[in-house]
């Protein structure tokens, strides 16, 4: 339920924002959190901030989430300052502290709120529109990972434990199929069969990490194309957003999700499956941009599975959508009946397209 403006005004007073709030509006971004854009009058100038309520149903420990976010954003900002970079306030999210210096406010109702500087002069796209955009997305996430290679301090919190544990995700699907609590399995027979046929791929990266062939790194873990803000004038990537899932992980999961959300210029829930296809020219630019920023720290074993990672993560997200559909749509926000099933079908069609081109994709990566 959207908060009323009076309630948002009360929340806004908890943060170190100086000025009068003029109005606020809902932002329909992401599947998880409740987000508002708020405009303030500061000395005669209108300035915007983001107020966001953290979804406690998804993020069981909001305090840990905010500890990760503040550590990561502060470190990236320091790295940019060391480089004498320009436009720093548009290249990394800025968390506004509360009046008592915390990174979040907990209301009397127990809800957790945070405030961020609104990044102006940028735009996001639900689907890639050109190979150049794909290059910018790959470079942005590669740079993001590279910034965090030397993050000081202890290990980041796992904000969602086993988030990219594909084997566990597959087990959750099997459980949902067996329970079929909402009698929906009959509507997803083909999708269930498709998933079960590919059980063998779920442990490939997990096993390589367990054997020490692939290292654990700090990763974004939600590298959708719309989580990169592009400059409205130059088209260059400015800022990586949606940092709630930044935590220990595998760079291949990040790259795989880039492949999933970038190389098929269609929406995540595209109903016309004839439009869903992995486009090689876009993949080549994505991989080139990513390697240009991340190539300095990648190990050969990581690089050798980059094409496979696109298939795996697309499959993983597909089975997550399918599991949520079978379980009554309790995780992903839906906007129509069968929305999660539509999302699943789109992912599985893309898996098929990647399978057909996987060898050529990896051959190109090997040449970079």
Q: Which residue ranges make up each domain of the chain?
A: 5-120, 131-366
Question: What is the sign, positive or negative, of the torsion defined by CA atoms of 287, 267, 124, 58?
Answer: negative
Higher pLDDT, 35 or 299: 299
Residue-wise pLDDT tens digits, 79-126: 999 999 999 999 999 999 999 999 999 998 899 999 999 999 999 998
Give the span between the Cα atoms of 237 and 136, in whole angstroms: 5
Least confident of 106-110, 179-183, 218-222, 302-306: 106-110
pLDDT at position 24, please? 85
Give the span between the Cα atoms of 138 and 161, in whole angstroms: 26
- DSSP assigned state of 186: G
Residue-wise pLDDT tens digits, 6-15: 788 888 999 9
pLDDT at position 323, please? 98
The helix/strand/coil state of 69 is: helix
**Beta-carbon contacts of residue 52 (< 8 Å; ≥ 6 apart):** 33, 34, 35, 36, 113, 114, 115, 116
pLDDT at position 223, please? 96
Q: Which residue has the tokens 């107020």?
A: 51
What CA–CA distances, in Å, run from 144 to 222, 270, 280, 349?
12, 29, 24, 29
Of 52, 47, 1, 2, nearest to 21 (Cα)? 47
pLDDT at position 30, please? 59
Tell me: pLDDT of 43 over 80: yes
**Beta-carbon contacts of residue 84 (< 8 Å; ≥ 6 apart):** none
Share the mean pLDDT of the chain.
94
Give the span between the Cα atoms of 196 and 176, in whole angstroms: 13
pLDDT at position 1, please? 42
pLDDT > 90: what percent of the chain? 87
Domain 131-366 in this protein, CATH class = alpha beta
Q: How far is CA 117 from the centre of its chain?
A: 19
Tell me: pLDDT of 236 over 60: yes
pLDDT at position 31, please? 57
pLDDT (average), residues 315-322:
97
Q: State the fold for domain 5-120.
A: Phosphorylase Kinase; domain 1 (3.30.200)
């Amino acid at each position: 339920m959207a908060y009323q403006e009076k309630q948002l005004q009360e929340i806004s007073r908890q943060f170190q924002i100086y000025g009068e709030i003029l109005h606020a509006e809902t932002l329909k971004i992401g599947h998880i959190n409740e987000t508002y854009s708020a405009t303030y009058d500061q000395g005669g100038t209108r300035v915007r901030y983001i107020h966001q309520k953290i979804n406690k149903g998804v993020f069981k420990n909001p305090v840990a989430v905010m500890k990760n976010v503040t550590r990561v954003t502060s470190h990236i900002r320091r790295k940019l300052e060391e480089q004498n970079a320009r436009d720093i306030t548009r290249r990394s999210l800025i968390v506004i502290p509360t009046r008592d210096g915390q990174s979040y406010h907990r209301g009397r109702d127990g809800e957790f709120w945070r405030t961020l500087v609104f990044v102006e002069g940028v735009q996001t796209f639900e689907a890639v529109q050109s190979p150049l955009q794909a290059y910018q997305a790959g470079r942005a996430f590669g740079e993001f990972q590279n910034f965090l290679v030397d993050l000081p301090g202890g290990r980041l919190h796992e904000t969602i434990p086993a988030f990219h544990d594909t084997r566990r995700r597959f087990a959750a699907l099997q459980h949902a199929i067996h329970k079929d609590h909402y009698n929906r399995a009959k509507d997803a027979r083909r999708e269930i069969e498709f998933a079960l046929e590919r059980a063998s791929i779920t442990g490939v990266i997990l096993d390589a990490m367990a054997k020490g062939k692939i290292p654990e790194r700090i990763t974004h873990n939600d590298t959708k194309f719309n989580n990169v803000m592009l400059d409205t004038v130059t088209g260059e990537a400015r800022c990586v957003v949606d940092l709630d899932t930044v935590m220990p992980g595998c760079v291949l999961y990040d790259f795989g999700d880039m492949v999933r959300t970038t190389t098929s210029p269609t929406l995540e829930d595209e109903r016309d499956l004839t439009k869903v296809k992995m486009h090689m020219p876009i993949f080549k630019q994505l991989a080139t941009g990513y390697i240009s920023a991340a190539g300095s720290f990648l190990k050969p074993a990581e690089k050798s599975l980059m094409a496979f990672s696109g298939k795996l993560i697309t499959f993983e997200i597909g089975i997550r959508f399918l599991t949520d559909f079978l379980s009554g749509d309790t995780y992903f926000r839906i906007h129509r009946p069968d929305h999660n099933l539509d999302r699943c079908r789109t992912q599985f069609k893309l898996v098929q397209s990647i399978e057909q081109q996987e060898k050529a994709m990896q051959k190109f990566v090997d040449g970079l």
